[in-house]
Amino acid sequence: MTYEPPTGAANATEANAAGTVPLQLVHLAHARSGDKGDTANVGLIAYESDHYGLLREQVTAERVKAHFGEMVQGRVERFELPNLGALNFLLHGALDGGGTISLMNDAQGKVFSTALLRMEVEVPADVAEAAAHRGRVPEGWSAEEYG
């Protein structure tokens, strides 16, 4: 295998003029998705409640729509749940008709959650460093250790 799985933190070595670096959401938040007809929902939950404001500011409906591109045919709606440190997104027209109409492998939108976690946001370098270990299986971990 000559390709590496993309890891935002690993790429986030060069701070820009504002002192921030890009970081993939997978290191800042966890997520769960489901479906209602042709609409997928993604609930995005900050690992640290301190980071909710950062998500709220940067993970806008417009950016999420742009992130998914052709994958989301309709509009993107966003709802805020500050009590859970969470945002809820509705991705309309994302499931090829949804339900039993859809020809998609992921006809019920179960893993749109992780697709959103590929998105990058700009964070202070110290935040990126502290968060770099979150969201991915630790190096050397084996499935034999599961359960």
Partner 1 sequence: MTDSTPDMIRIASGQGFWGDDLDAPVRQVEGGPIDYLMLDYLAEVTMSIMQKQRDRRPEAGYARDFVPLMERIFPACVERDIRVVTNAGGVNPEGCAAALVEAGKRAGVAGRARVGRVEGDDILDRLEQLIADGHALTNMETGDPLVSVLDRVRSANVYIGAEPIVEALGQGAHVIVTGRSTDTALTYAPMMHAFGWTRDDHDRIATGVVAGHINECGAQSTGGNCLIDWWTAPDMANVGFPIVEASPDGTFVVTKHPGSGGRVTRQTIAEQILYEMGDPSEYITPDVVADFTTIDVEEIGENRVRISGITGGPRTDFLKVSIAYSDGWKATGTLTYSWPDAAQKARAAAKILRQRLDRLGLEFDAVRTELVGWDSTHGELAGEPPADLPEVQLRVGVRGSDRAAVERFTREIAPLILTGPPSVTGFAGGRPRVQEIMAYWPALLRREVVEPHLSVHVEEV
Least CB distance from residue 126 to partner 1, whole Å? 22
Please report whether residue 140 would count as binding partner 1 according to CB under 8 A. Answer: no
Element (H, E) at 45: strand 39-46
Rounded to the nearest 5 percent, the helix, strand and coil shares of the chain are 30, 25, 45
Q: Exposure of 127 by Cβ count < 10 A (0-12 exposed, 13-18 middle, 19+ buried)?
A: buried
70 is an interface residue for partner 1 by CB under 8 A: yes
C-alpha atoms less than 13 angstroms from C-alpha of 55 in its C-beta half-sphere: 32
Binding span for partner 1 by CB under 8 A among 10-18, 50-58, 120-128, 139-147: 139-147
Q: Given candidates 37, 50, 53, 57, which one binds partner 1 under the rule CB under 8 A? A: 37
Report the interface residues with partner 1, using CB under 8 A: 1-3, 30-38, 41, 43, 45, 47, 67-71, 79-86, 88, 90, 96-101, 103-106, 111, 113-115, 118, 137-138, 141, 145-147
